[in-house]
Each structure stands twice: as structure tokens, then as C-alpha cells.
Structure 1
Amino acid sequence: MQILVVDDETDVRDLFQQRFRREIRSGELSFNFAFSGEEALAYLRARPSEVLLILSDINMPGMSGLELLGHVKAEGHMPPTTMMMITAYGDDNSRQEALGLGATDFLTKPLDFAVLRQKLQELPAL
């Protein structure tokens, strides 16, 4: 499964590569990273059929994760229908807004990688 992780904190790349080392090595999961909503949108537009899942932080400078979610859902030619939002703020308003915009799930930071791994395994075949 091809996953795009969108977060303005660049250390997430090392964290994901470390936590999913086995899955990456086996070819089960493949991660790409964008460090802003704008970068993610450019990546998705350039590779419209590659990404199957987007994991996006909500609070980023420039385009927020919720704005990115709105663009992804509005641009019908982009295939990722599965988008999980990640935020340090687990308040109910953010959760409802994300789910209302079409997010598949809502996770809070610090990210529990065991929970994320389980959620990835529960996804229908993409």
C-alpha cells in the first residue's frame, strides 16, 4: 500500500521509517512524505494514481490538513478516498469537522503506532 504522510515536522519521516521498517522491507507498505499541504497537493497531482492512503497532520503553516482534505475530496480525479487526520488536538470539534469533510479516521498525537498499524490492517483492500 502506497501511503503519503503529510506533516510539517520533518522528523516524522524517520519515525515512520523506523516504526514500519518490517512492512517497508517486505514491500507491504511504501511511504512518501510531504512537509506541507501545498507540497502534498502538488505530489498528488503529479502522481494521481500512486497514493492509496493519506495520513495528514491538521495543524500546519499555510494549507492546513483540513484544507488539504477538502481539495483531495473536491478533485475527483485524485484516487485517495482514504484519508486519516492526525492532530495534537483531539477535541470533538476538530474530529467532527474532519469526519464531516470526508476523513476516514482521526488520530491524536503522540501517535500510537500500534493503533495505526491495526487501523491499516483493517482497511479494505485498496
Structure 2
Amino acid sequence: MSALILVVDDEPDVAELFRQQFRKELRASRFDMEFAQSAPEALERVGAAEAARLILILSDVNMPGMSGIELLPRARKARPDVPVIMITAYRDSETRPKAIEAGAAGLFTKPIDFPELRGEIGRRLDAATGPQ
């Protein structure tokens, strides 16, 4: 059973970007990725995901309706075992402390440093499934 990473972002091109960046890992079935374009859709996917499969949630901070910061405690309540890493386009001094205080396991700034994110995902995979 492959590990699952849920990516939450209201911009539809983000799914294609992640598929391109992680195509080798996805082809090798190292993990699967699912995409949600809103916080409510993400909560549905979190609730529907098999417990053992969902190992990480990557969520944009700024989304219409429910923000990523508002999603964070709800996702953590539904799945306290699953780390949530926030992604933001803004390099302000308030976002990181807000995200960490709300329970985020980390924060990436856009444009995403994909080699760094790949390393973070590798560490999460190792923690969830043991070294590959």
C-alpha cells in the first residue's frame, strides 16, 4: 500500500506542477499524491483517506473561504498523526509563527524549493514506513 500525500491549493496549476516535480517518485509508486482545491474538499479527503496511507498534508495558506491556517487545526483534530506543512507566497514575519502555533510541522515559501521539499517528504516517508 503506497503512502499518500494530500496537496491543498486553490490554484489548479499547482497539481500539474507537483506531478511534474515528483514524476519519478510517482511513477516508482514511492507515494501517491491527491489534490484538493479548497479546505472543505481537503477535510473530506482527510476523512476518507485510509489511516495508514495518509502520511502528510501540504496546504497553501491563502485560499478563498477557509484559509490554510483555519484548515490546519481541523485537519490536525481529524488526523493528529498526520503532519501538516504550510505553503505561502508571502514572506512576512506573522505567517510562520501563526502556522507553527496552529500546529504546522513546517512552512515553505513560494516559489517552493522542490529539492528541500523532496528531502522533507523523504524524511516523512521514512518516519511513516521505515527506510526504503
TM-score, normalised by the number of residues in structure 2 = 0.87
1:54 touches 1:80 (CA, 8 Å); kept in 2? no
Offset at residue 86 of structure 1 (A) = 0.1
Q: What letter corresponds to residue 8 of structure 2 in structure 1?
A: V
Offset at residue 80 of structure 1 (A) = 4.5
Q: 2:65 — aligned with what?
A: 62
Q: 1:114 — aligned with what?
A: 115
Q: 1:11 — aligned with what?
A: 13
Q: 2:74 — aligned with what?
A: 71
Q: Deviations over 1:27-67 (max 9, x none)?
A: 11210000000100011112251321000000000111011
Q: 1:29 — aligned with what?
A: 31
Q: What letter corresponds to residue 77 of structure 2 in structure 1?
A: A
Offset at residue 74 of structure 1 (A) = 2.5
SS in 1 for 2:7: strand
Distance 2:111 2:64 in 1: 19
Q: What letter corresponds to residue 97 of structure 2 in structure 1?
A: Q
After TM superposition, the structure 1 stretch with the greater mean CA deviation from structure 2, 4-13 or 44-53, is: 44-53
Q: What letter corresponds to residue 82 of structure 2 in structure 1?
A: T
| Overall identity of the aligned pairs, in % | 46
Q: 2:4 — aligned with what?
A: 2
Q: What letter corresponds to residue 46 of structure 1 in structure 2?
A: A
Structure 2: which 5+ residue stretches go unaligned? Answer: none
Q: 1:125 — aligned with what?
A: 127
Q: What letter corresponds to residue 122 of structure 1 in structure 2?
A: R
Offset at residue 79 of structure 1 (A) = 5.1
2:54 touches 2:82 (CA, 8 Å); kept in 1? no
Offset at residue 90 of structure 1 (A) = 2.2
Structure 1: which 5+ residue stretches go unaligned? Answer: none
Q: 2:105 — aligned with what?
A: 104
TM-score, normalised by the number of residues in structure 1 = 0.91
Distance 1:28 1:80 in 2: 20
SS in 1 for 2:5: strand
1:5 touches 1:56 (CA, 8 Å); kept in 2? yes
Q: How big is the alpha-carbon RMSD for the aligned residues of Structure 1 and Structure 2?
A: 1.4
CA change 1:47–1:120 in 2 (3 A) is closer
